[in-house]
Amino acid sequence: MATVRSIDLWEGSEHECWPGRLVDGTPVFGFRLAPPGLATRRQLRAKGLCPGRREPFARLVWKRGRRFAWLYVAAHAKPSRVPTPAQVSAWDKAMTARRTCAAGHVAEHCVRLSDRLCGDHAVIADGLVSGLVVAA
């Protein structure tokens, strides 16, 4: 890990980052110490953007270096792809299949994979399996 006083930014200016760190040639910034113009993938996604096959410019670390996120140049980001109507329809069908209980009930959540039962029907089935009589 090398220590540097400043780094050259993507637009040609320098950013004071004492004590700055480079790991494998990538600048590392602490929480809230990154220069403006850099964003994480989630921040880009919130703006409807994506990195656009670009490499990360820097790394953001917190929790004493145990956690990190890649930082991308926001000016180089591209708009996210918009799904086609066919893709949206296919996604809706797949999610409906994941939420459909073996008893035919469509739950608000994905059903468990072990027996494909939703929460309501799983309680009834578990009660019958364990020998309890459950009134339906």
pLDDT one digit per residue (tens) for the chain, 136 residues: 556 667 777 777 777 664 568 888 888 888 888 888 999 999 999 999 999 999 999 999 998 888 999 999 999 999 999 999 999 999 999 999 999 998 888 999 889 888 888 877 777 665 555 444 455 5
| Residue 114 domain flag | yes
Report the alpha-carbon distance of residue 54 to residue 74 in Å, rounded.
11
Single out the residue of 57, 68, 53 nearest to residue 27, CA to CA: 57
| Measured CA distances, 40 to 46, 56, 74, 93, 129 (Å) | 10, 9, 9, 31, 49
Q: Are residues 110 and 124 in the same domain?
A: yes
Residues 14 and 71 reside in one and the same domain:
yes
Q: Is 134 a member of any domain?
A: no
Domain count, the chain: 2
- 47 lies in the same domain as 11: yes
Specify the length of the chain in residues.
136
pTM for the model: 0.64
Q: Residue 130, SS3?
A: coil
